[in-house]
Amino acid sequence: MTSTLVTGGAGFIGAHLVQELLTKGQYVRVLDNFSTGKRERLDAFGNQIEVIEGDIRSQQSVREAVAGVDAVLHQAAMPSVPRSVEDPITSNDVNVGGTLNVLNAAREAGVRRVVNASSCSVYGASETIPKTEDMAPEPISPYAVTKLTGEHYCHVFSYLYGLETVSLRYFNVFGPGMDPSSNYAAFISLFVEGMIAGRPLTINGDGSIMRDFTYVQNIVDANMRALQAEGVSGQVFNVGCGENSTLNEVVSVLKELIDTDSVISHGPERTGDVKRSRADVSKACEMLGYKPRVTMREGLERTVLWFKGD
């Protein structure tokens, strides 16, 4: 039986990956310190998974977690651009130091492949769209710097030590299981939950910011393909839908789906926010066999139903 470690498996994306791996009949181990991940996300899996409570900053915890596994889906991180702006030191310690620990422990343990969760934030201030993997990164937040550094470490471990690595640049992931109560809640979860409750809501900026909002099942599919694809070690891939929408357009769709007249106002822009983003996913399509199967609108419909409990 194939065994896979999911770091950050109690997180939003991590829990979806755990579910998919179980569906495929794999043995699944989770490493999480539950600082942002939620235990209840793992409760549904019962004794089907092994859970190690530990921090990726701890070499001992990481070595214990990687022992005997075939592959690692590395999702654990200190998320959020705003959080990194407030606390760049912790963001670096977790996202850079923690990733280095995972890679080094995986190398020592003879793990076959590490799939690393990166971010479209590495493209930063560039106005060019769509974003292609050969563009020069222009990070404008500490979070983006940490994710870019993680990519570089993955490439180096592939080049120097022969550890197979793949980095996936996620584009604005959303879907069921997102936590709207966090101070750093993603835009869609915050607005879906708020609209259902009928609360007034505030958009950061004038709403013209454009994003490639990507339903979580597309991210899961890319990870599964990145685990198996041949000839891709050391590579970086965009994972998105290849489309983009403004925040105002998303709000309009959500109003229609939820049938709400929630009052929407506009506030100041967030420091470190990128203005325009859209993925070119042709490399992932060609080399991983990836194809975005769930459109943004369909993803919004599924997300609304989940938040409503339907």
Q: What is the pLDDT of residues 248-287, one digit of tens each?
A: 999 999 999 999 888 899 999 877 677 888 999 999 999 9
Q: What is the pLDDT of residues 21-44, one digit of tens each?
A: 999 999 999 999 999 999 999 999
As a whole number of angstroms, the distance between CA 301 and CA 299 comes to 5
Q: Where are the domains of the chain?
A: 3-174+213-241+278-294
In the predicted model, is pLDDT for residue 177 greater than 80?
Answer: yes
Q: What is the CATH number of domain 3-174+213-241+278-294?
A: 3.40.50.720
The mean pLDDT of 162-187, rounded to a whole number, is 90
Q: Name the band, by pLDDT with cuts 50, 70 and 90, for residue 307.
A: very high
217-237 as b/e: b if 16+ CB within 10 A: bbbbbbbbbbbebeebbbbbb
Residue 143 among the catalytic residues = yes
Least confident of 130-134, 139-143, 254-258, 262-266: 262-266
In the predicted model, is pLDDT for residue 79 greater than 80?
Answer: yes
Q: Tell me the percentage of the chain whose pLDDT exceeds 70.
A: 98
Is residue 75 classed as helix, strand or coil in its secondary structure? coil
Q: What pLDDT was estimated at residue 4?
A: 98
pTM, to two decimals: 0.95
Q: What is the mean pLDDT of the chain?
A: 95
The mean pLDDT of 282-307, rounded to a whole number, is 97
54-64 as b/e: b if 16+ CB within 10 A: bbbbeeebbbe
Q: Which of 123, 143, 170, 290 is catalytic?
A: 143
